[in-house]
Amino acid sequence: MAAADPELVAIAEAFALPGPVTAIAPLGNGNVNDTYRVDTASGESFVLQRLNTAVFAEPELVMANLQVLSAHAQQRPLAGQRWEVPRVIHHRHSGQPWLKAGGEFWRLTSFVNDAVTLDAIASPAQAMQVGRGLGLFHNLISDLPADQLADTLPGFHITPTYLAAYDQILQSSQLQPCERAGWCKAFIAARRGLATVLETAKAEGRLLLRPIHGDPKVNNVMLCAQTGVAVSLVDLDTVKPGLVHYDIGDCLRSACNPAGEEAPPGDPIHFDLDLCQAVLEGYLGAARACLSEVDIDHIFAAVRLISFELGLRFFSDHLAGDIYFRCQRPGHNLERALVQFKLTESIEAQEQAIRTIVEGLR
Ligand code: GN1
Ligand code: MG
């Protein structure tokens, strides 16, 4: 194994670890923060992250939310089932839940042992667990007052705001027009009227603000390595007040796309109804009591909207020169946008079937 980067070791060891670091390696494939797994001589592992402060302008608030969540979870153990909320590890000397060094913001949390994540779902049983994981999480935070959580990312999942930003970027973008970008522009233009569906329901008091995860895509749900049951939701930076629909939509758009959100150009993209049925069974089995009838009414709108919204966010970032989502190659965000727009088309084409699934589980 390659020797661990000494700078990273020094950063990790600034936190109150139970023993010296034995290995550090990149973990996962997040689009925003940099994430590493840290192993220590004690046998315990941790997650070290450099927060992207261009995205999270007030990372201290992110940490404050994480601590509110951990404290809440400790008072609310899920009887009889394994469920973990990552713990925040403090700086050895300052006692702060972060390390600020050279303009960078680092934090360390506990690692969920004996668990795996998937980038795309392969079976309804996995989909059921992903849905159940989100449902347990919503259940857990349903009695956490939203006003105890700061808004760490204003505008996050507010689709009309993304649309307004897109309109601006479109005017100033230096990118050469191409056929695929033209297709995306037409796709967005035909769906502008969609953008307000959840925000209008919120403004009219039909949907209520409450704590949400914000990013419950498939690979943020940890499944027990032995049994496959969901045991944790990780990536808690976007836990903040919102609509549960952002989460439900995000989970469905991610879990019911068997090709995955990084599918290569040209791969067929479809929204899988069997996986949708399984995700919603798992989700509602755990969270139905936290939802109103009006919440259920908006599930179809949510999955359609969040797929569209993520496509819009990727496409806007492509036009802006890839400044938000980390890219592996030129055009990567355009490819990602196309995947989400194709998924949106598939969701639209199956609207009745999706609504029927929801009604069957109401
Ligand atoms: C970003 O960094 P990551 O991969 O956890 C993004 C999500 C998107 C996701 C798409 C704060 O999450 O909203 O759904 O990429 N997070 C933020 O993969 O913008
Ligand atoms: Mg995330």
pLDDT tens string for the chain (362 positions)?
567 899 999 999 999 999 999 999 999 989 999 999 999 999 999 999 999 999 999 999 999 999 999 999 989 878 788 999 999 999 999 999 999 999 999 999 999 999 999 988 999 999 999 999 999 999 999 999 999 999 999 999 999 999 999 999 999 988 888 999 999 999 999 999 999 999 999 999 999 999 999 999 999 999 999 999 999 999 999 999 999 999 999 999 999 999 999 999 999 999 999 999 999 999 999 999 999 999 999 999 999 999 999 999 999 999 999 999 999 999 999 999 999 999 999 999 999 999 999 999 99
Gap from CA of 182 to ligand 2 centroid (Å)? 29
Alpha helices by DSSP H, listed for the chain, are 6-13, 59-75, 124-141, 159-172, 179-189, 197-203, 244-255, 273-287, 293-297, 299-320, 332-349, 351-361
Q: Which residues line ligand 1 (CB under 6 A)?
A: 30-32, 55, 215, 217, 235, 238, 261, 310
What sign does the dihedral 292-294-296-302 (CA atoms) show? negative
Atom of ligand 1 nearest to the CA of 217: 14
Predicted local confidence at residue 3, as pLDDT = 73
Backbone angles phi, psi at 244, to 5 degrees: -60, -20
The rounded Å distance from CA 216 to ligand 1 centre is: 9
Between CA 179 and CA 190 the distance in angstroms is 17
How many Å lie between the centroid of ligand 1 and the Cα of residue 313?
Answer: 10
Ligand closest to CA 217:
1
Ligand 1 atom 14: residue of nearest CA: 215
- What lies within 8 Å, CB to CB, of 95 at 6+ separation is none
Q: What residues does the ion ligand 2 have nearby, CB within 5 Å?
A: 215, 235
Which of 29, 31, 261 for a ligand 1 pocket mutation test, highest count of atoms within 8 Å of Cβ?
31
Residue whose CA is at the smallest distance from ligand 1 atom 18? 31
Which residue minimizes the CA distance to atom 1 of ligand 1?
A: 31
Handedness of CA 3, 5, 10, 13 (dihedral sign): negative
Q: Which atom of ligand 1 is nearest to the CA of 310?
A: 14
CA 265 – CA 271 distance, rounded (Å)? 17
- For residue 246, which ligand has an atom nearest its CA? 1
Atom of ligand 1 nearest to the CA of 237: 11
Dist. CA 362 → ligand 2 center (Å): 29
- Using an 8 Å Cβ cutoff, are 41 and 77 in contact? no
Amino acid identity, residue 58? Answer: E
Residue nearest to atom 12 of ligand 1 (CA): 31
Q: How far is the CA of 360 from the centre of ligand 2 (A)?
A: 31
Distance from the alpha carbon of residue 172 to the mean position of ligand 1, in angstroms: 24
HSE-up of 85 (CA within 13 Å, CB side)?
25
Burial status of residue 243 (CB atoms within 10 A of its CB: 0-12, 13-18, 19 or more): buried
The secondary element (H helix, E strand) that includes residue 174 is none
